[in-house]
Structure 1
Amino acid sequence: MHLCSCPLQANGMLAYFVTLTTYFGLWWFGIFNPSTVYDHLGEIYSALIFGSLVFCILLYIKGHVAPSSTDSGSSGNIIIDFYWGMELYPRIGKNFDIKVFTNCRFGMMSWAVLAVTYCIKQYEVNGKVADSMLVNTILMLVYVTKFFWWEAGYWSTMDIAHDRAGFYIFWGCLVWVPSIYTSPGMYLVNHPVHLGTQLALYILVAGILCIYINYDYDRQRQEFRRTNGKVLVWGKAPSKITATYTTTTGETKRSILLTSGWYVFRLCHVNMN
């Protein structure tokens, strides 16, 4: 079973746009103050920690009594089953994919919402937004926007295609992403750093360039796999490694690995280490 064959709809960009527009609009028209979120972060994070634990216990039970597909099973060790997960693609009904919802809709969406929250909170506390906060918020929103723009591609990554639905991945999406990934903005609320226009622009441009490379890196790999290597990479035919492997059922399979484009830098890094 492969996730791409499942009836999922890549509507993340629309959901992302509606969420941020609604959130910002509620603040702009005085209906809801995002500062309330910042003021209660302790309670929110505590609820997420406890909630993720309960959530993973329920998933563990579901994996035993009502798995969504045949791609599930126990290792025989309760700790490993809870931590790593019982099911690869747990679902509610036919179309509600729990892993995709948790990773994409909750984890990544909360990253963007909290980034905006911290920016608004600093504005309300100081009457202005420091250039460091502005750069931080823009880069976070660019990265998350890139994620939702590329959402269908994410479904073929390690997170979705191979990591089972357990505490390991869900605690990360429900707790780690909202708390740790957004922490630079949380710190800057009360500790603004004044970079100056020139340095702020340098950091902003460098950050956007890195986000683009991250996107293009994944795009090259997926396009290479999709076309079975019959694609141009940086204007010429790509180099590759053909690898064969045997599955646990004894089936021999073949895979091709890209060794040109951005992957040249990855191979150089591996060789240097």
Structure 2
Amino acid sequence: MIAWQMTRAANRNVPRRASDRMTGPGEPSVSERASTGRPGNPPHRATTFALALALIVLPAFTYYLWACLEFNAGLPMWPTRSLLDRLPPPTWQAVLIIAGWLAFQGLLQLVAPGRQARGACLPDGTSLTYRLNAWSAWWITWAAVTVGIALGWFRSTDLADQFGALLTTANLFAFFISLALYFGRRAIAASHESTEGGLRAFWFGVALNPRIGTFDLKFFCEGRPGLFAWVLMDFSLAAKQYDLHGVLTLPMILVCAFQFWYVADYCFHEELILSTWDIRHEKFGWMLCWGDLVWVPFTYTVQAYYLVGHTHDLPWWGAAAIVLLNVVGYLVFRGANLQKHRFRDDSTQPVWRRPADYITTTRGSLLLASGWWGLARHINYFGDLLMGLAWCLPCLFGSPLPYSHLVFLTILLIQRERRDNARCAARYGEDWDSYCRKVPYRIVPGLYRLLLCRSRLTRRPNVGDDVSAHGVGSSAPECAISPVATEPVPGRSASCKSREQSGSRLSGGARRRRTGHETRSRICRTWPSAAATRPSAMLQALRNPVVSGGSGARMCAAKPRNMILMNSRTKT
């Protein structure tokens, strides 16, 4: 997440080009895919540094969580060099468990009974076929684990006992798979995908849907080994609690039950993953591979790991409230996703027993604005956050570590919502502005709101630049209410202009501040010449005003002449 945020910050300084408007549906623009502002330049140093740093920090954080849970009773501790001596080495048993697990789940992906489904349309106009058999693979897995424990092939606490060694081994496997994807990128990339190398290609991946025959690597890793292993580790940690203390506490039962239901529900509605962000837009590189194989099974189990050594109980009303919170979160999350999926299949179906309300874009797409999706533009994220909170609350408040999952999930979903909003704004233009006015809230209804005005910022013109080449006509005026002449912002949307030109549209607080100034001035600017945009010329114009007669109008006689302070009345 740190690396992705710094990447987005670097890309916000990249000027939009005409080729950005020619990308396929759902594809990032050229400037979003590039790590530089101009073709041919080397990657942005800040972005490269952030990606390299994240390759170290993220795995180190998983080890830090494990060390706090294992050696400090689940409490945070200051990282010291002594922790390096406690890093768990891989063991042959851990290697056999990881390798056997991946092979077993891969075999189930190929042969378990299921049905075929077509995915979303790809940028080249084609679509892929996926084998949906997670529901049968889920129950086959549990049957195999039960038989293995009954026959004595392994113990129920083996995963809990080998947790540290499994963490190291999973990291090694994730890096090995990511390196294989990177060096084999020319073989797995589609014809329209770039095969250029570099750290960015290793991190984000090159191919959107890397496949070996019909076996889709991203689809497999997204939904099988990591998710299934997460719940198996929960149950192994619960067995460890019973083995140590002779009791299985209510908080442990709640955490295991909530997360078992979450993954089982995913398997039952596996088809819905085909329309998610990861499958449609994210390429398969280290970020997704490591997240699926390491982050999910070894950090989402932090609540169960914490409860192994904390055998507190919950009052009945507290347990009931937590169950209710999880149920509400699930209903919001699953109801919203099902509603979106059914609307995509048939837009004539009623939504909450009423005709669906939607916006038809100029591209022909439909933006659902009723039902769950009339409350917020990513209401499903809100349900996900409610469930995440319900998973943390059984641990009570003795340590902040069990809530690290909720913190991470909040950052992830907010960042993902902003990425999706930027993509849709670039894709749908004014239609997206209309949709945002109709559904103003981002994630939480009534709390997390998007400003109705969407700014499109580009770089400031340099000397000798053709201003019209940046999408702004040299004769188009821009007006803003401001006490000081500032540099004009190119590419401002029409909704911004109309709001600034009409004082009646200002909020009440803004009107009071505007009328409360002793000097009210409207600075009307047209695009000046390139030389006139220099800050020195602007300051010189402000320092040498000429007061004209008794009309109260102050005009800047110094260059640039096209900056005029109009309608200024000073109270006496």
User: Is the CA contact 2:149–2:156 (under 8 Å) kept in the aligned structure 1?
Assistant: yes
Which residue pairs with 1:19 in the alignment? 141
Alignment of 1:1-273 (within 5 A): 3=119, 5-28=127-150, 30-64=152-186, 66-67=187-188, 69-70=190-191, 72-74=193-195, 76=196, 78-93=198-213, 95-227=214-346, 229-244=347-362, 253-266=363-376, 267=439, 269-270=441-442, 272-273=448-449
3-state SS in 2 of match to 1:257: strand
Distance in 2 of aligned mates of 1:126 and 1:201? 25
Distance in 1 of aligned mates of 2:192 and 2:270? 23
Distance in 1 of aligned mates of 2:172 and 2:325? 38
User: Is the CA contact 2:189–2:206 (under 8 Å) kept in the aligned structure 1?
Assistant: no
Distance in 2 of aligned mates of 1:238 and 1:23? 45
Over aligned residues, Cα RMSD in angstroms? 2.0
User: Is the CA contact 1:71–1:87 (under 8 Å) kept in the aligned structure 2?
Assistant: no
Q: Could you list the runs of 4 or more consecutive aligned residues of structure 1 that deviate by over 6 angstroms after TM superposition?
A: none
Equivalent pairs, count? 261
Paired AA for residue 290 in structure 2:
W
Please state how far the C-alpha of 1:7 moved relative to its aligned partner. 3.2
Distance in 1 of aligned mates of 2:192 and 2:319? 48
Distance in 2 of aligned mates of 1:107 and 1:71? 30
Task: State the TM-score, normalized to the length of structure 2.
Answer: 0.44
Once the two structures are superposed, residues 95-138 of structure 1 have per-residue CA deviations (whole angstroms, 9 ceiling, x without a partner) of 21111111111121112211211122112112121000000000
Distance in 2 of aligned mates of 1:154 and 1:192? 36
Please state how far the C-alpha of 1:68 moved relative to its aligned partner. 5.6
Distance in 2 of aligned mates of 1:134 and 1:71? 49
Please state how far the C-alpha of 1:208 moved relative to its aligned partner. 2.6
3-state SS in 2 of match to 1:69: coil
Distance in 2 of aligned mates of 1:122 and 1:27? 17
Distance in 1 of aligned mates of 2:441 and 2:197? 37
3-state SS in 1 of match to 2:361: strand
Distance in 1 of aligned mates of 2:147 and 2:314? 29
Distance in 1 of aligned mates of 2:152 and 2:306? 25
Please state how far the C-alpha of 1:69 moved relative to its aligned partner. 3.5
Distance in 1 of aligned mates of 2:176 and 2:152? 35
Paired AA for residue 205 in structure 2:
G
Please state how far the C-alpha of 1:29 moved relative to its aligned partner. 5.0
Distance in 2 of aligned mates of 1:6 and 1:188? 43
Paired AA for residue 191 in structure 1:
H
Please state how far the C-alpha of 1:9 moved relative to its aligned partner. 1.6
User: Is the CA contact 2:182–2:202 (under 8 Å) kept in the aligned structure 1?
Assistant: yes
Q: Pick the structure with greater CA Rg.
A: 2
Distance in 1 of aligned mates of 2:226 and 2:210? 17
Identify, as 1 or 2, the structure richer in helix. Answer: 1
Paired AA for residue 306 in structure 2:
Y
Which residue pairs with 2:35 in the alignment? none
Once the two structures are superposed, residues 175-219 of structure 1 have per-residue CA deviations (whole angstroms, 9 ceiling, x without a partner) of 110111121111111113311333223312321331232111111
User: Is the CA contact 1:71–1:89 (under 8 Å) kept in the aligned structure 2?
Assistant: no
Unaligned 5+ runs, structure 1: 245-252
Q: Identity of counterpart residues, as a percentage?
A: 26
User: Is the CA contact 1:45–1:175 (under 8 Å) kept in the aligned structure 2?
Assistant: yes
Decide whether aligned partners of structure 1 residues 127 and 219 sit closer, same or farther in structure 2, where only a CA change above 3 A counts: same
Distance in 1 of aligned mates of 2:145 and 2:318? 30
User: Is the CA contact 1:27–1:33 (under 8 Å) kept in the aligned structure 2?
Assistant: yes
Decide whether aligned partners of structure 1 residues 254 and 142 sit closer, same or farther in structure 2, where only a CA change above 3 A counts: same
